[in-house]
Amino acid sequence: MSDTETKGGCPVVHIDYRQNRTAHETYANLNEVREMAPILWNETEPTAYWMVTRYDEVREALQRPDVFTNDVVSALGDPDSHIRLLPQNLNPPEHVWYRHVVNPWFSPGSLSRIEGYARQRCIELIEELRPRGGVDLTVEFALQFPTEVFLHLLGLPPSDGYKLLPAVEGVFRGFFGGPPEEMARDVATIKDYFAAVVDDRLVNPGDVKTDFVSYLLQSTVNGEPLPPEDVLVLCLTILLAGMDTTRSATGYIFEHLARNPEHRQMLIDSPDKIPAAVEEFVRLYSLVYQDGRYVAEDVEFHGCPMRKGDIVWLGLAQANRDPRKFDRPDEFVIDRESNKHLGFAAGAHRCLGAHLARMELVMVLEEWLARIPSFTLATDEPLTERGGQLMLHSVPLAWEV
């Protein structure tokens, strides 16, 4: 990379973010790039894009959907092969109509309905693990628990997770540069699953308070019923969002706690601090480290000449570790006076599942630390993380029984 290479006055880099890395190497790189400049041009494959790296500019762009639209939602991967996602790929006003339909299902009030089930399963799963003295978190508990809770929330059999997970993982590989034919096949698997549910609920409507597909089939958008294809795409989108992120967050949180016994002890001594800890973990270990946008009209954005059709990376993880916004940005700090992190993004597309994610992560910490208060990483080998959307591939923990 040349110090003098620029585009529109912004430095040019050549970084492929789809590659897997050693654990935490991504954050180190993201920090470095942020400190180079507030806006850069990443000349990379398969598509080049602007990188907006600092908190104020990232948030501003998220709050300007007229200019930075959701026709593209990821700066990584080929924009032509992106699958349609709902309501993610929509812009106002359609986007607002769709969010009105799905928001109630994922509101704190709605989630209180499933809190009892979730806690019961959480405790059961942890109690099953306890006598074993060890687990690879990412491939077991961190995968099982969010999957079961999520499917239960939708009114679907939790055991269906095992059918859907390989397809979900396949779609994520596809998002970040995997073979498009395989991704298309995995998308079809998920859509076929929901198509069967839709076909059933059309003949046997379920309770609209507990059966998500039935609820969608009875909802309207701008006065019109949702087209069945939209019901499928909504379910696909929400499934993809729900099954990967919470799993990944759990991995990073436990890896952190395994390496930082003093933080663990603090949460054991003061469980009332767990909600604040979860917010801090979401800030520090942002998994969706970039949100993509499409430039809908030529705009000079903080001195940078962006053209209609350009793709933009909004650096959520970079914003979350921006020293201009957060004191001690790379440290876990439990008592921040202000933690306005963008781990769930901002603007109208802010994460629909944020309340669910928080509920699950708080619950996991409460129930795990009460039963397995002390644990270590069971390997000296460096851990690795997935490119594109962060996940630690393996988090092997060990504890005394």
Partner 1 sequence: MKIRVDENLCQGHGRCYSLAPELLSSDDEGFVTLKGSSMDVPAGMESAARQACNACPEDAITLED
For residue 107, the minimal CB distance to partner 1 (Å) is 4
Which residues have CB under 8 Å from 200's CB, separation 6+? none
Q: Indicate whether 159 belongs to the interface with partner 1 (CB under 8 A).
A: no
Q: Indicate whether 355 belongs to the interface with partner 1 (CB under 8 A).
A: yes
Q: Indicate whether 130 belongs to the interface with partner 1 (CB under 8 A).
A: no
Closest to 44 measured CA to CA, from 290, 361, 250? 290
Residue 199, SS3?
Answer: helix
Residue from 206, 275, 323, 387 that binds partner 1 (CB under 8 A)?
A: 275
Q: Indicate whether 222 belongs to the interface with partner 1 (CB under 8 A).
A: no
- Quickly count: other Cβ atoms within 10 Å of residue 268's Cβ: 15
Closest to 89 measured CA to CA, from 103, 79, 104, 76? 79
For residue 341, the minimal CB distance to partner 1 (Å) is 7
- Window 52 to 81, contacts with partner 1 (CB under 8 A): 59, 63
Binding track, positions 178-217, relative to partner 1; x by CB under 8 A? ----------------------------------------
Q: Indicate whether 27 belongs to the interface with partner 1 (CB under 8 A).
A: no
Residue 42, SS3?
Answer: strand
Which of these ranges, 102-110, 134-142, 243-251, 257-265, lies near partner 1 under the rule CB under 8 A? 102-110
Q: At what angle do helices 228-259 and 161-175 cross, to 10 degrees?
A: 90
Q: Indicate whether 109 belongs to the interface with partner 1 (CB under 8 A).
A: yes
The maximal CA–CA distance of the chain, rounded, in angstroms, is 65
Cα–Cα dist 33/10, whole Å: 12
Q: Which two tokens stand for residue 230?
A: 């939209």
Which residue, 48 or 96, has its beta carbon nearer to partner 1? 96
Q: Indicate whether 338 belongs to the interface with partner 1 (CB under 8 A).
A: yes
Amino acid at 8: G
For residue 102, the minimal CB distance to partner 1 (Å) is 9
- Quickly count: other Cβ atoms within 10 Å of residue 47's Cβ: 17
Which residue, 92 or 303, has its beta carbon nearer to partner 1? 92
For residue 232, the minimal CB distance to partner 1 (Å) is 23
Which residue, 60 or 140, has its beta carbon nearer to partner 1? 60
- Window 81 to 100, contacts with partner 1 (CB under 8 A): 100
Cα–Cα dist 133/141, whole Å: 13
Which residue, 66 or 199, has its beta carbon nearer to partner 1? 66
Size of the site for partner 1 (CB under 8 A): 25
Identify the burial level of 381 via C-beta atoms within 10 angstroms of its C-beta, where 0-12 means exposed, 13-18 middle and 19 or more buried.
exposed
Q: Which two tokens stand for residue 387?
A: 């490119």
Question: What residues make contact with partner 1 under the rule CB under 8 A?
Answer: 59, 63, 100, 103-104, 106-110, 275, 279, 337-342, 344, 346-348, 350, 354-355
